[in-house]
Structure 1
Amino acid sequence: MTTSPATDQADTRADEAAVRALLAEEAEAMRTRDAELAVARYATDAMIFDLAPPLGRRGHAAAGVRAWLAGFDGPVTIETTELEVTVGGDLAFAHGLRRMSAVPAGAAEGFSFWYRATTCLRRMQGRWRVVHEHTSTPFHMDGSFRAATDLQP
């Protein structure tokens, strides 16, 4: 089958929209405290480098997300900005900035901070799945090594 440039562009736009929708599921999962939805977007063997220890791990378990969510009163909100998505065949790459806001259980006040996120996805059995994700906060290079959670885009 031969495709035209217009068909290729339409397919790419549809794939980009599907990737954006899948990434938006994280925000919905955190807002509704749905651990199963939070991990449904990952491939079972995804390599994850996220904000919490350890330095990295394979796979994402709903039980771990559920335990993490239990440490908050109310929703955890995730806002994404400056999201760029590139799709090529069955692979996609996305990066942007995210802001997490929440109120820790029993705390009088909540917190809000920005962090960086890079996500690699693969189309598997017709569906996009996260196969690699890296989130990080910059740190102050003044010898204090404090996380720079006060930065804003």
Structure 2
Amino acid sequence: MSTHEILAVLSEQHEAIAAGDAERAIATYAPQPVVYSLAPPLVQHTPDGDAAGLAEWIASFTAPPKLAHHDPEVHVSGDLALVHTLTSMSGDKGGEFTLWFRSTIGLRRIDGRWLVVHQHESVPFHMDGSFRAAVELEPAVIV
């Protein structure tokens, strides 16, 4: 049952963002989460700064972006859970795009509810000395 509940938290986050509802998305986080998102700075202690910051980011798209986790692996031990997955984000910012990146999400069951306490997103970069983000990558197989 825990795996379903944990994945439901991540789905809720994505559905809230797709609906343009930053407050709802923020509600999936525990107080003072550590977030290593794709956007600067290197570390955030609240997702995208706060609901206003997340709302501003969502509004920067022609329509709210769509996110999806693909083949998530969930590991649970008591009140702690870890999810690692590939994530896709599709949207339009002056042109349609889909970006694939790696995600690791740590959750903790607090008062019977799973909440995100740690989130890490990363895009690989080319190791040829250019340090360019490898945003053109896609999974070999999408299940």
**Structure 2 length as normaliser, TM-score?**
0.93
After the TM superposition, which residues 73-92 of structure 1 pair with which residues of structure 2 at under 5 Å, given as runs? 73-92=62-81
What is the alpha-carbon distance in structure 1 between the residues aligned to residue 10 and residue 101 of structure 2? Answer: 15
Residues matched between the structures, number: 137
After the TM superposition, which residues 1-153 of structure 1 pair with which residues of structure 2 at under 5 Å, given as runs? 14-60=1-47, 61-104=50-93, 107=94, 109-153=95-139
- Which 4+ runs in 1 deviate beyond 6 A? none
Q: Which has the larger radius of gyration?
A: 1
**Shift in Å, 1:75:** 2.3
What is the alpha-carbon distance in structure 2 between the residues aligned to residue 122 and residue 116 of structure 1? Answer: 20
Amino acid paired to 1:85: V
Larger fraction in helix:
1
Root-mean-square deviation (CA, aligned residues, Å) is: 0.8
**Shift in Å, 1:25:** 1.1
Contact 1:43/1:59 (<8 A) preserved: no
Amino acid paired to 1:16: T
Mind listing any 5+ residue stretches in structure 1 that lack a counterpart? Answer: 1-13
Mind listing any 5+ residue stretches in structure 2 that lack a counterpart? Answer: none
Deviation digits for residues 7-51 of structure 1, max 9, x if unmatched?
A: xxxxxxx11110000011122012111101111110111001000
What is the alpha-carbon distance in structure 1 between the residues aligned to residue 19 and residue 98 of structure 2? Answer: 18
Contact 1:50/1:133 (<8 A) preserved: yes
